[in-house]
Amino acid sequence: MDASKLALPVGTTLDRFIMRKQEDFPYATGELSQLLRDIALAAKIVNREINRSGLIDIAGAYGNQNVQGEEQQKLDVVANIRFIRALRNGGEACTIISEEDDEAIDTGNVQGKYIVAIDPLDGSSNIDVNVSIGTIFSVYRRVSPTGQPGTAADCLQPGTHQVAAGYVIYGSSTMLVYTTGNGVNGFTYEPSLGEFFLSHPDIQTPRTGTIYSINEGSSNSFSPGVAAFVRHCQDAQFSARYIGSLVADFHRNLLKGGIYLYPATAKNPAGKLRLMYECNPLAFIVEQAGGRSSNGYARTLELEPAACHQRCPFFIGSPELVALAERFLAQETVPAGV
C-alpha cells in the first residue's frame, strides 16, 4: 500500500498562499502580507464569538446607536474591538475607518503604510436568528508621508486605489475571500486545525444569471427604471433571493451568477450602503472575478468619496445583468448628487 495515502495533503493554508503570492504585490516588502494575516486572525476570533453567542451574553442589542443611526448589536461592538485590536497590534495600519466609529481611528502606528476601511459585522440584525453574517474590508496605501498620523486624503481615496479587499462570511462554513488585484481566491476555515485553507481558487463569476436580490418591501419607492428592471426579472422568471446580509447575498451571486441591488429610495435617497467599507471592497472583488458594479450610472470604483461614511446606490453582480439594469436606469433623469 502506498504510505502517502494514509496521510493525504490537507491543502494550502491562507498564510502559505499569502507568502507565495507576495511577489504579486506592488510593494512586496511583507507589510501587506502581515496586514492580511492580522485580519484573518481577528476573523478567527470573531468566528469563535459568533459560534458561542447563544451560550453567553453577547447576543442581542447593545443599547447604543452607531454613526449611521442604527442600533448596535453586542456582537457589532465585539467584532469592532477585535478587528481594531488586531490591526493596531499588527502595526501595519496607521488609520482605520469603521462603520461603528464616528471618526477615523488613529492606531498610533505612524510608520504604518496602510489605511483599512472595515464593516466589522455586516448583517448584524440577523445575528439572533442564526442567519449568515459577515465582515467586509478594504485596504489602501497611504498617500501622506510615514512618521505622522494618517490624513483625510489618506482616508478618502477612490476605490480604484485599493490594494486589497475582502470579506469573511460566517455561515454553514466560515470563508475568507480576498483579492490584491490579481484574481479572487476563497479560503474555508477548518476549526479543528484553526486554519483557513484554499477551497475556491481563482473565482470567476458567471457572465449572467437568474437571481435578483433586492428588498422588494421598498418597491413602492423604487424609481421607474429600477421598478422596470425588477419587472423584467419577474417576467423572465428569475429567482428572488434576498437574505438581508450584504455579504451573504453577494457571496451567493458571486458564485452562482445574479445581481444585487440596493437603489436609492424615498427613505434613503442617497442609497443606504456605505461606499468606503461596503461598496468599494465588493466592487473591487467582483471586477477581479469578471463582474461589474455601479451606482446605476457610474462605475463604483470611480466614485469620489467626500466622507468616511458616505452612502451610495449599489448594483453589483454578473456583468450582463448589471449592464442591463444600467440601461433601464439610463432612461431616467439622473438624480442630483448620484
Binding site for substrate, by residue number, is 122-125, 215, 242, 260-262, 272
SS3 category, 224: helix
Q: Which residue has the cell 508621508?
A: 145
**Angle at which helices 319-330 and 224-235 pack, to 10 degrees?**
130
Annotated binding-site residue numbers for Mg(2+): 99, 119, 121-122, 278
Binding positions are: 99, 119, 121-125, 215, 242, 260-262, 272, 278
Which own/partner contact pairs does 98-102 have at CB distance under 8 Å and 24+ positions apart?
98/277, 99/66, 99/67, 99/68, 99/274, 99/277, 99/278, 99/309, 100/66, 100/67, 100/72, 100/76, 101/66, 101/67, 102/67
Other C-beta atoms closer than 10 Å to the C-beta of 38 total 21
Collapse the DSSP code of 4 into the 3-class scheme (helix H, G, I; strand E, B; otherwise coil) and give the result. helix
Which of the 8 DSSP states describes residue 300? G
Radius of gyration of the chain (CA): 20
Do strands 239-240 and 259-262 pair parallel, antiparallel, or not at all (unpaired)?
unpaired
